[in-house]
Amino acid sequence: MRVLVSLRRVFVLFLMLAAMPGVFSASVSAQDSNLCDAALDVVPDIGNWLEGYEVVSGSGGSGSQIVVGTDGPDYLTGGSGNDILCGYGGDDVLEGGSGNDVLVGGEGDDALYGGSGNDTFYASETDLVDVGSGRDRIVTVVDTLSDCGLAQSYQYPVNTPVLADLDLSGCDLHGKNLVQANLGSANLAGANLRGADLTYASLYSANLLGADLTGANLTGANLFEATCPDGYVATEFAGNQCAGHLDI
């Protein structure tokens, strides 16, 4: 089964994946793939190890290995163990093989093939993902997205990255499902939030100056100390603290 990951349509992807047997999805920072960054400081293929993984280049063997690529196009293969494949730059092809593998495409337009086992894919824009068999996980690498792109990927309840403190000025979020989104101290000046669902969202101390909230659902939203669209700073503790101050 192959999935073309398009971050512009990521909310559709998550809904599709949720309905597919054996596949589930998440959006987190690349915490599980941090070993790829650490592996850059290790010389591969001379018996070097990193947190229980042997660091090798090109292809893995029977053990658990971190298979590292280059900044150019690479063809990386895992072995029969639980491997981590790190594509880095270039348009790479990563094949996990058997075992519970982690495939990290990195920059470029990559093709990630899981094979058998319960695999995890760190995919970004335009990557091709073939999950193979097993219970697999596709993770959107949120630290490659712009602040606005991250907010556009939000889809409660399947994809809920923290949006606090982000620069979302002028971002097009019209009609977005932002239920329970953490937008505390975010800069939403001039953002298009027409028809957005902000039910129980945290907008504490957010900047909404000039934002278009026409038709937005603000039920239960926390707007305490937020700058409202008309410039009023909300000081009320309860209710819609920007009530009467939504016109721009």
What percentage of residues in the chain have a pLDDT greater than 70?
A: 81
Instruction: Give the model's confidence band at 17: pLDDT under 50 very low, under 70 low, under 90 confident, else very high.
Output: very low
pLDDT the model gives residue 94: 93
Question: Taking CA 174 as the corner, what is the angle to CA 168 and CA 180, rounded to the nearest 5 degrees?
Answer: 70
Model confidence pLDDT, tens digit, residues 222-231 = 999 999 999 9
- The whole-chain average pLDDT of the chain stands at 80
Instruction: Give the model's confidence band at 128: pLDDT under 50 very low, under 70 low, under 90 confident, else very high.
Output: confident
Give bridge partners of residue 130 from the DSSP assignment: 2, 113
Give bridge partners of residue 115 from the DSSP assignment: none
Check whether 99 has a pLDDT greater than 70. yes
Instruction: Give the model's confidence band at 239: pLDDT under 50 very low, under 70 low, under 90 confident, else very high.
Output: low
- 39 vs 161: CA distance, rounded Å: 26
Q: Provide mean pLDDT across the span 102-114.
A: 87
Q: Tokens representing 228?
A: 């409202």
pLDDT the model gives residue 138: 78
Q: Provide mean pLDDT across the span 88-98.
A: 89
Check whether 235 has a pLDDT greater than 60. yes
- 153 vs 71: CA distance, rounded Å: 27
- Find out whether 27 and 140 touch, Cβ atoms under 8 Å: yes
Q: How long, in residues, is the chain?
A: 248
Model confidence pLDDT, tens digit, residues 54-83 = 888 888 888 888 999 988 899 999 988 899
pLDDT the model gives residue 142: 45
| Choice between 124 and 210, residue whose per-residue pLDDT is larger | 210
- Find out whether 126 and 10 touch, Cβ atoms under 8 Å: no
Q: Give the count of alpha carbons within 13 A of 61, CB side only.
A: 7
